[in-house]
Amino acid sequence: MILKNLDNIDLDNFPVAIFGSGPAGITTALELEKKNIKSLIIEAGDEKYSETSQTFYEGKIIGDQVTDLSLSRLRQFGGTSGHWGGWSKPMEKYNLELWPINENNLNPYLKRTCEILNINNQFRKSSLNEFFNQIEFQYSKVKFADKFKNYIKNSNNILLILNTQLSHFVGHNNNTKYAVCISNDTIKELRTKYFILACGGIENSRLLLWTRDKNQKFIDNDLPIGKYWMNHPWTLGGKGVISKKKLKEKLENDFLEQDNLLRFAAKKELIIKKKILSAAIYMGAKEDTKIYKDIIKDILCVAPEYGKKIAHMIFKKDLKCGNIFMQLEENPTENNKIVLDKKKDKFGIPMTKLFYKKSKYTLKTAKLFLEEFGNLCRKNDFGRIAIKDSIYNLEEYEDLGAFHHLGGTRMGIDKFDSVVNKDLKVHGINNLYVSGSSNFVTSGYTNPTFTIIQLAIRLAEEINKRLYSLTFS
């Protein structure tokens, strides 16, 4: 069922309240329904995009600029999945080494995640050498609002309430008593057994910080809420040319190509050897002779013989030639953080202030990764690359905007460096959970949505266990 506000609704039969209707929130509700558990989804926005609603996502950025906070996320039904790019892939095993969970904790939910995203369960990789894999993503066309609107509308176990802003939680003695919500400009108290905050990689921190300010004895002051925030840099690394024929010979039958793109990622062995972060490159292959000529001209300057060789291949289907884009991991630091601004929105909730400084470690990763990949291409004679001057000289990289907001309520064992435990429960509080990209400990190089959904399915299982134990205790 879908309703426009909280007015005159009997909520006694809903043991779970989920705040946020993006991939994390919707997935959790769907999985709870499979276990015959009723849940509320509370969405601050409306069914469709509204510029007025979107202004609530405005905020200040102190330091290096990232994509405008009001443009990189959506305050509406379906959340930011409304402009999600769709590229899907599980996290690499080595990217989870600092997490309190590992791939064995996520793999049971891989098949179900693929079902939700309407993709197949094949994420192939081909080994180029001891340091690089050619990789494959799956592309999902799913927009959560479009796919699940009618399902939720006709559900007896899921109640979606729109235009209802969560202000903060109120609790006592390690238990959340109720959520203070604003619906139809009226303050209301929402009481239930379990509360799940699933409002995204910025709002989760903002609302928890406001809760702590309003009710300091409820949330531990030692919890690093808002800290260890990460961007997911997407930048232009340079240009390159690769012979598909030569690459196929190297890979034998394991050559991978999707949508006219070639993708390569660092193995753990390269990360250890070069002391870098995780990284991947995406090489376009546009049928544009100008691009071909520009790249070949550059190659002729540094590798004349190879330049002459590929100049004769321009009009052959064998040649892949184009820009090299990089998706890079960013190391989490305490100084990159979300705090509350003095300025407040119309509901009296402080706006977001983001302190962010680009990681030099990330820039080093880009340079060393590309250098090593260039060596691989040259030694095997299947291509050449030209690294962008700013990357090569370790100057500031241009973030082209991946729109991936990560960290701020990271998972962990210790309350001094994490906000939630391995089951996504806030440290020290029995019935308050946080779900979404804000839980990420490290970013890896992959888009986060796939992992967000895996974690949401896992969370639904945890809530089911908790409710089951209450029933039979």
Inside any domain, residue 37: yes
Cα-to-chain-centroid distance, residue 99:
15
d(CA 364, CA 162): 45
The count of domains in the chain is: 2
Q: Where are the beta strands (DSSP E) in 39-90?
A: 39-42, 59-63, 87-88
Domain membership flag for residue 136: no
Domain presence at residue 400: no
Do 36 and 83 fall into the same domain?
yes
Residues 10 and 83 in one domain: yes
107 φ/ψ angles, rounded to the nearest 5 degrees: -55, -35
Domain identity same for 166 and 275: no
Place of tokens 């949505």: 449
- The Cα 341–Cα 356 span in angstroms is 15
Sign of the Cα torsion 216, 167, 100, 355 reads negative
Residues 202, 82 share a domain: yes
Residue 203 lies in a domain: yes
Structural contact between residues 326 and 366, judged by C-beta atoms closer than 8 angstroms: yes
Co-location of 35 and 60 in the same domain: yes
Which pLDDT value is given to residue 448?
93
CB 223 within 8 A of CB 386: no
Beta bridge partners of 160: 2, 41
Same-domain status, 204 and 260: no
| One domain, residues 77 and 60 | yes
C-alpha span between 355 and 140 (Å, rounded): 32
* DSSP string across 281-335: EEE-----HHHHHHHHHHHHHH-HHHHHHHHTTTTSTTEEEEEEEEEE-----TT
Same domain (yes/no): 162, 146: yes
The pLDDT assigned to 295 comes to: 66
* 340/327 same-domain check: no
Give the per-residue pLDDT at 52.
85
Specify if 81 maps to a domain: yes
In tens digits, the chain (473 residues) has pLDDT values of 676 677 767 777 889 999 999 999 999 999 999 999 999 999 998 888 888 888 888 889 999 877 778 878 888 888 888 778 888 999 999 999 999 999 999 999 999 999 999 999 888 888 989 999 989 899 999 899 899 989 999 998 999 999 999 999 999 889 999 999 998 888 989 999 999 999 999 999 999 999 999 887 899 899 999 999 998 888 899 888 887 777 777 777 677 676 677 889 999 999 999 999 999 998 875 555 566 666 666 666 666 666 666 665 555 556 677 788 999 999 999 999 999 999 999 999 999 999 999 888 999 999 999 999 999 988 888 888 888 988 988 888 777 766 789 999 999 999 999 999 999 999 999 999 999 999 999 999 999 999 999 999 999 999 999 887 755 44
Residue 394 Cα distances to 167, 366, 368, 387, 391, angstroms: 43, 9, 10, 11, 5
Q: Is residue 260 part of a domain?
A: yes
Q: Quote the pLDDT of residue 316.
A: 56
Q: Which domain holds residue 75?
A: 2-119+142-230+335-355+407-471
The region, left, alpha or beta by phi > 0 then psi within -120 to 50, assigned to residue 381 is left
53 residue type, one letter: S
Residues 198, 281: one domain? no
**What pLDDT, on the 0 to 100 scale, is given for residue 473?**
44
- Residue 450's pLDDT is 95
In a domain, 402, yes or no: no
DSSP per position, 209-258: HHHHHH-TTTS-TTS-TTBS-B---EEEEEEEEEEHHHHHHHHTT----B
What's residue 290's pLDDT? 63
User: Residue 57 is part of a domain; what is its CATH number?
Assistant: 3.50.50.60
Residues 161 and 208 in one domain: yes
Distance from C-alpha of 241 to C-alpha of 284, rounded to nearest angstrom: 10
Contact, 64 vs 358, CB < 8 A?
Answer: yes
Domain match, 101 and 51 both: yes
319 inside domain: yes
| pLDDT score at 281 | 92
pLDDT at 183: 87
Which burial class, exposed, middle or buried, applies to 252 when counting CB atoms under 10 A from its CB (0-12, 13-18, 19+)?
exposed
